Amino acid sequence: MATLFFLFHLSNFQKMKISQYLLALLCPIILLSSCNKSDDDVATDTKSSFTLEFEHQVNGSPLALNTTTYKNAKGEDFKINVFKYYVSNIKLSKADGTTYLLPESYFLIDESKPASKLITVNDVPTGDYTKIEYTIGVDYARNFAGAQTGALDPINGMFWTWNSGYIFVKLEGTSPQSTAANNLLTFHIGGVVDPNNTIRTYSTEINAANPLRIRMDSKPDMHFMVNAASLFTGTTDVSFATLNFTMGGANSVIVANNYAKGLFRLDHIHN
Amino acid sequence: MYACSKNEDEIMPEEKAITFSVPSNFPAPVYNFEQNKLSNAGFALGKKLFYGARLSADKSVSCGSCHQQFAAFANLDHKVSHGVNNCQGKRNAPPLFNLVWQKAFFWDGGVKNIETSPLNAITDACEMGTNIETIITTLKNTTPYPEMFKKAYGSTEINSQFILKSITQFLGVLVSGNSKYDKVMRKEGGISFTSDELAGYTLFKQKCTSCHAEPFFTDFSYRNNGLDLVTIDEGRSHITGVQTDFGKFRVPSLRNIEYTSPYMHDGRFYSLDEVLEHYNSGVKAAENLDAELKSGIQLNSLEKSQIKAFLKTLTDNEFIKNTLYSES
């Protein structure tokens, strides 16, 4: 009782320290008890966590909202005011082909909310994973599944009210070349119905020499570089003079085909 | 003991549980309440939100402003919706009933789930002109909402999901299936059509059911019925981006049609006579005109009056007058 009372009066930082200390105390006990089981049991039973970190860039420069001027592949200047996107249905694969789909994995990453750029995923079976894939956006079913919460809450400004479905990737900004009022750039990419389906999947193999090594005592960090300028190049170089506004439809498909190639790059893994 | 419980009954009569039931002449609904368990508190909250003008940008417009029960939850005498700041909308407010059998909502079918359908009207600059964030803040600071949310969901937390799901409880329970037509079909209480109504029904089945299919009196498809040679409202193609959908709108139900004037997506016709005359002589050779309407639908005046007589058997007065659905 006294210990509990003591814990309540500690800062989070102090609590972390203590829980690490407790963990250190407990670890030998866990290790000892695992001796009784076969190794296979341990591998399938234990769960741990890992993090995904998304570092936003524009062609190699750090993304800074509202202030910095960047150039698209056509050499046109632009600034970014809003940059947010969904990552969902994260699937991990092992070298033997077995896969683990993270249940209910819907994440909204928003440049204006730094905390959103670091995702912690819990309850993942321990093991060595050599591939990761995820949806850029939201799967077909969830676009029409009714009132959602969390990342999919319409309050997040990523749900079209007049034409059901989520905005998968939202980039807003300005460019002197934009012919829209106030030189605005409005790229709201979404839509799940052919011929304008914009659901795209990102997948990458992980170097087998340094796989995503999830252990009870190892919570690795995957570090992704995210290039906002990839919306405007890759398959079709976009000129803001001719394409500066899209909310679904054929032009959104052009942009989705671009970012499918270059939005994400796995930079490194800290195991 | 006996006296005690009797006394309690008098003070607090047991509330009738809100239920949803499928009329025997209807198929199974598209939306069931499995993920949104019906409760009296949920329904009461949804109804309160539906009639709450406080939710709109200038606190003047509620869902119920444009969806009036006496008009089967359509908007009597309004060609198009009349939103906040006296803004005139683009389309006629559709009636609200039998929504759980519908796969898509609004004239263009843009919204695919009943739960998210209120968001469209909430955010449209010409309807309620607000957003869900503002509404949540308002509700948190307005009695009796926090208490009602607590009753419905066990927590004073107010979020978009609770708001939308409770409104859906109200909307989903709006079932209209007790018209004379329904009773005749179900052979209830020896009710039968008059000879005019029967003749109208026979004509209706010959000339109208390819679009206005029973028992909902719509096949839920999108069609161009030749109102204009070139429409100013692109309709369904705004959603699909497909040119062959240009100028198409959802086939509306004809249930309660007696009370849902004015008619068509832009409310251009005030009477059923005008509507029938349109099909008789007014269909324009629009791009994407529905194949069924290439030669219009020829109707003489006797046929028109018989069809009208039949259409009036689709009026469900029990629905229109059910106090369960009324603002209280």
Cβ pairs A/B, distance under 8 A: 67
What's the gap in Å between the CA of B88 and the closest CA on chain A? 17
Place of tokens 């009324």: B326
Q: Which of A39-48, A65-74, A79-88, B184-193 has the lowest mean pLDDT?
A: A39-48
**Each residue's pLDDT tens digit, B89-111:** 889 999 999 999 999 999 999 99
Residues B159 and B191 in one domain: no
> Six-digit token pair at B284?
């324009």
**Each residue's pLDDT tens digit, A92-128:** 999 999 999 999 999 999 999 999 999 999 999 999 9
Where a domain ends, among B141, B175, B209? B175
Residues A125 and A80 in one domain: yes
**Each residue's pLDDT tens digit, A127-158:** 999 999 999 999 999 999 999 999 999 999 99
Q: Return the biggest CA–CA distance within chain B.
A: 77
> CB–CB of B176/B216 below 8 Å?
no
Residues A59 and A10 in one domain: no
> CB–CB of B235/B290 below 8 Å?
no
> Six-digit token pair at A262?
């270059």
As beta bridge partners, residue A134 has A202
Residues A135 and A23 in one domain: no
The whole-number pLDDT of residue B14 equals 59
Residues A60 and A184 in one domain: yes
Residues A19 and A119 in one domain: no
| Number of domains present in the structure of chain A | 2
The whole-number pLDDT of residue A44 equals 58
Total length of chain A: 271
**Among B54, B52, B56, B76, which residue's Cα sits nearest to residue B66?**
B76
Residues B194 and B139 in one domain: no
Residues A124 and A178 in one domain: yes
CB contact (8 A) between residue A159 and residue B116: yes
Interface probe with B: pick from A164, A167, A251, A253, most Cβ of B within 10 Å: A164
> CB–CB of B46/B171 below 8 Å?
yes
Question: Tell me, what amino acid is at A63?
Answer: L
Q: Which residues in chain A have Cβ-Cβ distances shorter than 8 Å to B122?
A: 161
* Residue B278 labeled ligand binder: no
As beta bridge partners, residue A237 has none
Q: Could you count the other beta carbons within 10 Å of the beta carbon of residue B55?
A: 23
Give yes or no for residue B128 having a pLDDT over 90: no
> CB–CB of A99/A165 below 8 Å?
no
Question: Is B16 a domain residue?
Answer: no
Q: How far apart are CA B91 and CA B155, in angstroms?
A: 38
Question: Is B19 a domain residue?
Answer: no
Question: Is B11 a domain residue?
Answer: no
CB contact (8 A) between residue B114 and residue A146: yes
Q: Which residues in chain A have Cβ-Cβ distances shorter than 8 Å to B236?
A: none
CATH of residue B242: 1.10.760.10
Residues B42 and B68 in one domain: yes
Q: Which range marks the domain in which residue B217 is found?
A: 180-317
Residues A47 and A32 in one domain: no
Give yes or no for residue A53 having a pLDDT over 50: yes
Residues B165 and B211 in one domain: no
Residues B247 and B194 in one domain: yes
> CB–CB of A78/A244 below 8 Å?
no
3-state secondary structure A130-182: EEEEEEECCCHHHHCCCCCCHHHCHHHCCEECCCCEEEEEEEEEECCCCCCHH
Residues B149 and B199 in one domain: no
Question: Is B3 a domain residue?
Answer: no
The whole-number pLDDT of residue B82 equals 75
Residues A79 and A127 in one domain: yes
- Tell the burial category of B229 from Cβ atoms under 10 Å away from its Cβ (0-12, 13-18, 19+): exposed
Residues B272 and B312 in one domain: yes
Residues B151 and B207 in one domain: no
Q: How far apart are CA B140 and CA A90, in angstroms?
A: 35
Residues B97 and B170 in one domain: yes
Question: Is B14 a domain residue?
Answer: no
Residues B171 and B264 in one domain: no
Where a domain ends, among B146, B175, B204? B175
Q: Which residues in chain B have Cβ-Cβ distances shorter than 8 Å to A195?
A: 241
Question: Is B326 a domain residue?
Answer: no
Where a domain ends, among B175, B207, B229? B175
Report, as an integer, the average pLDDT of A36-40: 40
Q: How far apart are CA A189 and CA A137, in angstroms?
A: 9
What's the gap in Å between the CA of A146 and the closest CA on chain B? 5
Q: Which range marks the domain in which residue A4 is found?
A: 1-36
Q: How far apart are CA B96 and CA B174, in angstroms?
A: 7
* Residue burial A230-250, b: 16+ Cβ < 10 Å; e: rest: bbbbbeeebbbeebbebbbbe
Instruction: Using a CB–CB cutoff of 8 Å, tell me whether A179 touches chain B.
Output: no
Residues A125 and A18 in one domain: no
| Number of domains present in the structure of chain B | 2
pLDDT band for A17, please (50, 70, 90 cuts).
very low
As beta bridge partners, residue A127 has A214
Residues A24 and A60 in one domain: no
Task: Give me the sign of the Cα torsion angle A163, B216, B326, B74.
Answer: positive
Angle at Cα B240 formed by Cα B235 and Cα B246, nearest 5°? 40
Residues A102 and A160 in one domain: yes
Q: Could you count the other beta carbons within 10 Å of the beta carbon of residue B163?
A: 25
Residues of B with CB under 8 A from a CB of A: 35-36, 106, 110-116, 119-120, 122-124, 132-133, 136, 159-161, 163-165, 168, 238-241
Question: Tell me, what amino acid is at A100?
Answer: Y
Place of tokens 């790059």: A265
**Each residue's pLDDT tens digit, A208-263:** 899 999 999 989 999 999 999 999 999 999 999 999 999 999 999 999 999 999 99
As beta bridge partners, residue A233 has none
**Measured between CB atoms, which of B120, B161, B163 is closest to A162?**
B120
Question: Tell me, what amino acid is at A255?
Answer: V
Residues B155 and B190 in one domain: no
This prediction has a pTM of 0.85
**Among A207, A157, A216, A255, which residue's Cα sits nearest to residue A24?**
A216
Residues B119 and B213 in one domain: no
Residues A146 and A21 in one domain: no
